Structure 1
Amino acid sequence: MVKKQNQRKVLAVLAGGLVLGVGVAVTLAVWNDSEFATGTFTAGSFNLEGSTAGDVDANYSDHNVDDGDTAATLAFDLPADIVDNMSPGDAVYAGFWVRLAAGTTTGADLVAAGTTADPAVSSNSEHLGYAIYALAPGATCNAASAVGTPIATGATLDAQAGVTTVPLLEGATAAVAGTAVQLCFAVTADATLEQGLETTATWEFTATSTD
């Protein structure tokens, strides 16, 4: 009988040990760890500038009338005296250089974005047509170079058609401006040009970053 009682005690102790073992498993510590990452993002810079001379850096500036600047005045002086005394069939030419300013961090696509002109009732805007050409570096804007496919045309000064894109490259470093592209304007009077009227037109160009 004593032997059986001792056996029961042993079994009871073993049972208690099993219960204790389960209790240890439940109370084990749970470890966790975290990783964090942060990023800083700096926007690039972008600026299109123009010049009616194009040969010296100092000649370039902004001409954005939407921001309060004054539009660049094109020098239509080839051939001499015609621009102030145009007759039916005459054509005049003027160059305008555009480039991405120093500090610009991406290339761009340039397009002619529209034109405005004096009202036809008081000007010759309906009797003057135009074409704009992108010239090769070093070319002179005249009848000989204003050939090929224009980047924009207008049957009148207040119309625009045939728009094509001109690629612009940023400078090699942030301190250097991009390569300039000369736009050659050719304006031609039609056979019904009216005498004595003065007409002003303004063209807009938009550059959009490619990156």
Structure 2
Amino acid sequence: MLRPVDADIHLGGTMFAQETTTAETGQRRRKAPKVRAILAGGLVLGVGAAITLAAWNDSEFAQGTFTAGAFNLEGSTDGSTYGENPVATPATLGFTANPVNLAPGDVVTAPFAVRLDDATTSNATVTVSTQSSTGGLIGLTYSLTRSTAFGCGEAVTGTLITAGQALGTTPGSVTFALTQGAGTDPGAPVNLCFRITADDDLVQSQTGSTTWEFAAQSQ
């Protein structure tokens, strides 16, 4: 004969009385381990799924290669042979008259040309200035013009320094453009002409010299 067993159950702070048979208690005890095993398996499955999703990743890469160009200015005193003329060994201008026996009213001229060599990969802006002067240059003025071809007898296409500029000085912002060559060819030359004039202020027996600089900057 089964006897009723009284059990107290607390729900929300309220006590209830419940009758439980011995057989019902045994069935609950046998079922409890199965419930715990199922819950434990569910927890393991949840952790494993989270790790698998976190393993996805991806990357992208980019690279650039950089090579510098070349740039070089060269000059000529005869319009055919071009070369380097550094400050230590400047080109000597070939004046049409003897500049060592000047008298008031004399005018002497000398052509000069500059261009970019065949390895240059950029256009340029050239600035003209006086690099240095020595000795006496009193009574001497000059001008600097551009021409269609090499030589001071060619048609003038532009004036860079107007006549009357004191020898040994250069106005500011005297510039002209040079273009780079195509393929293996050098750039087109700019033909220039210096005109030196002796006036009444020329001092007898004085000797002097002046050196111009043509400074090219790539564009």
Kindly tell me the number of residue pairs found equivalent between the two proteins. Answer: 194
- Indicate conservation of the 8 Å contact 2:143/2:196, yes or no: yes
Are the counterparts in 1 of residues 77 and 111 from structure 2 also a CA contact under 8 Å?
A: yes
Note the C-alpha offset of 1:198.
Answer: 2.5
Match of 1:114 in 2: 130
Q: Gaps (5+ residues) in structure 1?
A: none
Give, as a single letter, the amino acid of the residue that structure 1 aligns with 2:149.
G
User: Do the aligned partners of 2:130 and 2:210 also contact (CA within 8 Å) in 1?
Assistant: no
Return the match for 2:166 from 116, 131, 156: 156
SS of the residue corresponding to residue 48 of structure 2 reads: helix
TM-score, normalising length from structure 1? 0.79
| Aligned residue in 2 for 1:100 | 116
Instruction: Quote the offset at 1:169 in angstroms.
Output: 0.7
Q: Which residue of 1 aligns with 2:101?
A: 85
The equivalent position to 1:41 in structure 2, one of 66, 73, 78, is: 66
Structure whose residues are more often strand by fraction: 2
Instruction: Give, as a single letter, the amino acid of the residue that structure 2 aligns with 1:11.
Output: V
Distance change in 2, residues 1:147/1:105 (3 Å): closer
| Within-5 A mapping of 1:132-143 | 132-135=144-147, 137-138=148-149, 140-142=151-153
Displacement of 1:160: 1.3
Q: Which amino acid aligns with 1:49?
A: E
**Aligned ranges for residues 23-42 of structure 1 at < 5 Å?**
23-28=47-52, 30-42=55-67
Match of 2:179 in 1: 169
8 Å contact kept, 1:153–1:162:
no
The 1:86/1:145 distance shift into structure 2, 3 A limit, reads farther
2:84 aligned to which of 54, 59, 62 = 62
Match of 2:201 in 1: 192
Higher RCO by CA contacts (8 Å cutoff, separation 6 or greater): 1
C-alpha distance in structure 2 between counterparts of 1:195 and 1:106, whole Å: 47
Q: What is the percent sequence identity of the aligned residues? A: 38
1:90–1:132 CA distance, 2 compared to 1 (3 A):
same
Please report the RMSD computed on the Cα atoms of aligned residues, expressed in angstroms.
2.6
Check if 1:126 corresponds to 2:138. yes
Structure 2 spans left out of the alignment, 5+ residues: 1-23
Q: 2:213 aligns with which of 193, 200, 204?
A: 204
Normalised by the length of structure 2, the TM-score is 0.76
1:139 positional shift: 6.0
Change in 2 beyond 3 A, CA 1:130/1:179 = same
Residues 165-199 of structure 1, C-alpha deviation per residue, up to 9 Å, x if partnerless? 211011101x2111011111111222210122232
Per-residue CA shift, 1:105-151, capped at 9, x if unaligned? 111011103232213xxx2x13212221222x326414x85685325
